[in-house]
Structure 1
Amino acid sequence: MKATRFFSVFFLMALVVNLLAFPVSAAETSLPADPDIQAKAALLVDANTGNIVYAKNEHHELYPASLTKIMTALLVLEAVDSGKLSLDQQLTASDSITELDADGSSAGIKVGEVMTVEQLLYCMLVVSANEACVILAEAVSGDVDTFVDAMNAKAQALGCENTHFVNPTGLHDSQHYTSAWDLYLITQEAMKHEDFMRICDTGDITLPATNLSEARSLHSTNYLISVWRSRGYYNTDAHGVKTGSTGAAGHCLVSSASKGSLSFISVMLGCEQLHLEGNEIRTMSFYETNRLFDWAFDNFAYQTVLTSDEILKEVAVSLSKIDHVTVHPAEDVEVLLPKGLAAEDLERTITLKSDPVEAPISAGDVLGTVTLSYDGTDYATVDLLALNDVEASRILTFWRDVKAFFSQTAVKVVGIILLAAVVALLVWKLVFGRRRYRYGRSVNFRSRRGYRGRRR
C-alpha cells in the first residue's frame, strides 16, 4: 500500500513538473494551419482593411496573361469619369485588330463593326476579347503604344513596384509582367468604379446585334460565377473579377468574395491544370481560390481590439507644473483576426512624437501612435490623443526660450566674438596701460628731484 501511494505521488509530481517545464501556449495554437496554396504566387487581402490574410511570393514578377485587362478597364472607366468617353459612345473597330494573335481570346469583332464602350467592356471582361482591348485603347489614347505608356504610368502612381506592361491584352511578352501584390493594388482601384464590378461580375449576357453581327451571347470565362463552361467551381459568395491563361503564365485568377461582414480579394498566378483519374480536369486557379476563400471564412472574424475610451499610457510633460498627460486611441479599432487569437494576445507598440511632450497641450492633440501586432504581423495602427488640456508654465517657457536663444549657432558665434573682444581689450589695457603708467612715474620723479624751489 505504501509503495502504491509512493508511486502515485511520484507520477503526479512528474506530471506537474512536465506541465511546468513545457507549458502549452495558447498563442502557438491560435493561428490556423497554412492552407499551402498550389500556385506560383497567391494573395488574399481583407477588402475592408487592406490587411494581408495570406501571401505567397506576392512580390515575385510573373506573367499576368489576361489579368492585364483589369488595368485596361481601369483606364477606360477613368476616361468615362473624366468625360472623355461615355458608356453609350459608339466606337468602330479599326484594322489594328487584325494584327492580334488569331489564337487569343476573341468575341468575333470584325473590322468596321460598331459597338458601344459598354458593350466592348463586356466583351473584354466577360469573355476576355483581345480585340475589344485594342479598340478601347485607341479610343482613350489615340493609339495602343500611347495607351500602354498610360498603363505603366498608372501602375507607378498606384505604387506598383514589380509591374511593366507591353500591351493592353496580356498576350505573352517576356517584358510584360506584374506581381500578385501589384494586381491587388490595380484591382482595388478598379473596384472603386461601380461599372467595373457590375460588368466583371456578369456570368452570362446577350449583347444586341450590330451592323456586322447578330446578337452575341457571352458566357464568363470565370468558373466561379458561371456554370456555362464548368460546374465544378461555382461559388455563390464569389464576385468577379478576371481570368487569364497563357502557356507561359499558366492559369491565373483575380476574384473577390463576401459573406456576412467578411470580404476578401484574392490573386492567383501560375496555377496548373491537372488531369486526374476518371478524366477529371482540375483547373487549380479556380480550385485553389475556392479553397482559400473557405479557409478564410472558416478561420477569421472581426474583433474589437481597442476602444476610444481606453487609457493606454501616461506621457511625460515638460514646461508645465503637471508632469504627465494621459493618451487614448483616436477611435475604436476593429480588425480581422484568426478566431483563436484574442485582442489581449496582440502586442501594443506605442510610438510618441516626443518624450517628454512640451506644454501647452490641448485635448485631442495627436501625441503618437499605437500599433497592434502579433508574430511579426501588424494588424492596425491608430493615433493616440491627449485626454485633457495641459497649460504651460510661463517661467519654464521663458527659460526654455532663453536656452533656445543662446543655443543658436549665430548667437554662439557672436558670443565668442564678443568674449574674444573683451579678452583682447583686457590684455591691451594690461600691457599698454602699464607702460603708460610707468612712463608717467619716471617723468614725475625726475621733475620732482630737479626742482629746487625759489630761493629768496
Structure 2
Amino acid sequence: MKFIMVILLALSMVLSNSPATYAEDKPTGLEPLPQVRGEGAYLIDVQSGQTLFSKNPNEQLAPASTTKIMTGLLAFERGNLNDIVTVSSTMLNSKLVYGTQVYLEPGEKMSLQDLLYAMLLNSANDAAVTVAEHIGGDVQSFVDLMNQRALEIGATQTHFVNPSGLTEKGHVTTAHDLALIARVAYQNPLFAQYVRTKSHGISRSKPDLPTQMVNENKLLWQDSDVDGIKTGYTSAAENCLVASMTKDGRQLIGVILKSPGREIYTDMQNLFDYGYTNYADKILKPAGSVLSTVMVNNEPVDLKIDRPIYLTQNLADQTPSSLTLKVIPSAGKLTTIKEGQEVAQMEVYDGSTLLDTLTLKAARTIIPQPPIKSSNPNYLSWLVGITLTGVLFLVLFRRKIDAERRSRRRILLTRRRESN
C-alpha cells in the first residue's frame, strides 16, 4: 500500500511540474525586446519601411556626426566625384571647424571623391564643411538644402544648423527621422559603397598629412553582415550610431542616439538579432504587378510596378499585418502613352504612416493613328458633282431658249401691227 502511495505521489509531482511553455501559443525561440541604453532608438526594415522597434522615437536629440549621412547624400545627388575642390579659408574658422579633422589647408586641392571618404569614414569635420561649400556655394545655402531634403524624406522633426554635426543650438533630429534619412541615403548605390568601405587611401599634395581613412564603425569590422553606416560623438550628443545589416535577403537599419558608452555596439547587435529573429518579410505585390489602369483614347492601359512591395510580419503575432495602397494619378488627360512611361504613383501606408512611394508605369504603347486618306477617287462625290453641273446647264439652257422664243414672238407681233 505504501508502495502504491509513493507511485501516485511521484506521478502527481511530475504532472504538476510540467513546463508552462507547452501551453503557450507563441512560437518558441523568439528574442525578447532588446534593452537599449541609448535615449532614443529605432529599427526599420529597409524593404518594407516598417518599424520593428522604437524607443522615444520622436524625442529631438543631437545627432553628432550622423549628420554627415545627409551631407553625403546631397553630395552624391548633386555633385561630381571627379570634381577638384579648392579648400577655402573657412578652414581657419575655429568656431565652424574643430574636432575630428584631416587638417585641410586653404588653397589645398582635393577631389570630391576623396573629401567624401574623409568625411564618411574618418568623420572629418573640415571635409564636411568643404563639401558643403562646394555643393551649396556656402555653408548656409547647403544647410538650407539639408533641411529641404529632410522634409522631402519625411523627417519633419529634424533641423540642421551645420553640415558636420558639431554641437549647435537647434541642430536636432530624432531616432525615427534619422532612420528615414539613412534608408533613403542607402538606396543611393554610391553612398552605400562608401559607408561599407573599411579603409581607403586619399591623395594629399603635402607630406605628413593623413591619407589613410579608416571607418569608425566598429561593427563593420566585427560582423561581415554589417554594411555601414555612420558613427557620431560629441559631449552633448554622447555616442550615436546608425548601422545597416543585410542577412538572409533582408536589410535592417538601426539607430541609437545618446548612448552613455561603448555598449552602443552591443545594443545595436541586440537590435539586429531581435529584428531578424522576430520578423520575416514576404512579398505583398511582386514586381510587374498591375495595380491600376488608365484610359488612353478610350482604351484601358495597365499600370505596373517595377519593384516589389514588401510586408514585414511579426512572427509572434497571430494577426496578419496589412498595408494600404493608394494610387496618386497624374494630372491631365492622356492621348498618347509609351510602354514603360511613368504615369502615376503608388503610396504605401502602414496605418497613417507613409512607408514608400513607387512609380506606376504603362504596360503598353498607344499612339493615335492619323486619319486614313483613301488613294481611290470618291466616285460618288464626282458623280454628284457632274449631275448637278448638268442639271444647272440644262436649266440655264432652257431659260435661254424660252427667252429667245419670247423675243421672237414680240418681233412677230410688232411686224403684224406695222403691216396693218
Q: Normalising by structure 2, what TM-score?
A: 0.63
Cα 1:336/1:156, change in 2 over 3 Å: closer
Question: What secondary structure does 2:75 align onto?
Answer: helix
Aligned with 2:169: secondary structure? coil
**Cα drift, residue 56 of structure 1:** 0.8
> Among 286, 300, 315, which residue is 1:339 paired with?
315
Q: Residue 336 of structure 1: CA displacement?
A: 2.8
Distance 1:296 1:108, change over 3 A: same
**Alignment match, 1:19:** none
Question: Unaligned stretches of 5+ in structure 1?
Answer: 16-22, 81-85, 227-233, 274-282, 308-329, 354-368, 381-456
Q: Decide which of 121, 126, 148 is 1:126's aligned counterpart.
A: 121
Q: 1:254 to 1:139 in 2, by over 3 A?
A: same
1:106 is the counterpart of 2:63 = no
Say whether the 8 Å CA contact 2:33–2:274 is kept in structure 1.
no
Distance 2:67 2:199 in 1: 21
DSSP 3-state at the match of 1:111: coil
Give the conservation status (yes or no) of the 8 Å contact 1:31–1:341.
no
Give 1:195 shift.
1.1
Which segments of 5 or more consecutive residues in structure 2 lack a partner in the other structure? 16-21, 287-304, 328-346, 357-420
8 Å CA contact retained: 1:30, 1:338: no
Q: Report the equivalent of 1:284.
A: 263
**Matching residue of 1:90:** 84
2:85 & 2:155 partners in 1: Cα distance?
31
SS of residue paired to 1:132 = helix
In structure 1, what is the Cα distance between the partners aligned to 2:163 and 2:314?
39
Secondary structure at the residue paired with 1:225?
Answer: helix
Amino acid at match of 2:313: L
SS in 1 for 2:220: coil
Give the direction of change, closer, same or farther, for the CA distance of 1:238–1:100 in structure 2 (3 Å limit).
farther
- Structure number with higher relative contact order (C-alpha < 8 Å, ≥ 6 residues apart): 2
Amino acid at match of 1:221: E
C-alpha displacement of 1:24: 5.3
Give 2:93's aligned amino acid.
Answer: E
Alpha-carbon separation, structure 1, partners of 2:146 and 2:127:
16
Q: 1:250 aligns with which of 238, 250, 264?
A: 238
Provide the residue aligned with 2:65 in structure 1: 66
1:150 aligns with 2:145: yes
Q: What residue identity is the alignment partner of 1:248? A: A
Distance in 2 of aligned mates of 1:154 and 1:349: 26
In structure 2, the CA distance between the partners of 1:352 and 1:64, relative to structure 1 (3 Å rule), is: closer
Deviations 1:364-387 (A, max 9, x none): xxxxx99999xx99999xxxxxxx
For the 8 Å contact 1:30–1:340, the answer to whether it is kept is no
Contact 2:324-2:350 within 8 A present in 1 as well: no
Matches of 1:336 and 1:194, distance apart in 2: 24
Q: Which deviations, in whole Å up to 9, do the C-alpha atoms of 1:288-332 show, x marking residues without a partner?
A: 11121122223333357899xxxxxxxxxxxxxxxxxxxxxx999
Distance 1:337 1:139, change over 3 A: same
Shift of 1:150: 1.3
Instruction: Spell out, residue by residue over 1:255-302, the C-alpha distance to the aligned partner (whole angstroms, 9 max, x if none).
Output: 1001112210111101011xxxxxxxxx02222111211222233333
Query: What are the within-5 Å matches in structure 2 for residues 23-422 of structure 1?
Result: 26=25, 32-80=31-79, 86-100=80-94, 103-211=98-206, 216-226=211-221, 234-273=222-261, 283-303=262-282, 335-342=311-318, 345-346=319-320
Q: How far, CA to CA, are the matches of 1:111 and 1:98 in structure 2?
A: 8
Structural RMSD (CA): 3.9
Q: Quick one: structure 1 residues 244 and 25, their matched pair in 2 at CA, closer, same or farther if it must change by over 3 Å?
A: same
Q: CA deviation at 1:57?
A: 0.9
Q: Percent identity?
A: 31
- Note the alpha carbon deviations across 1:327-380, whole angstroms, 9 max, x for none: xxx9997633333445xx327799999xxxxxxxxxxxxxxx99999xx99999
- Structure 1 residue identity aligned to 2:86: T
CA distance in 2, matches of 1:242, 1:90: 25
- Paired AA for residue 83 in structure 2: Q
What is the total number of aligned residue pairs between the two structures?
304
Contact residue 348 and residue 355 of structure 2 kept, 8 A: no
> For each residue in 1:159-208, what CA deviation from the matched residue of structure 2 results, as whole angstroms up to 9, or x when unmatched?
11211111111100121101111111211221122111111111111112
Q: What amino acid sits opposite 1:289 in the alignment?
A: M
Residues 347 and 159 of structure 1, relative CA distance in 2, 3 Å threshold: closer
Note if contact 2:110-2:203 (Cα within 8 Å) is conserved in structure 1. Answer: no
Q: Tell me the secondary structure at the aligned position of residue 219 of structure 2.
A: coil
Report the AA paired with residue 69 of structure 1: K
Does the 8 A contact of 1:100 with 1:131 survive in 2? no
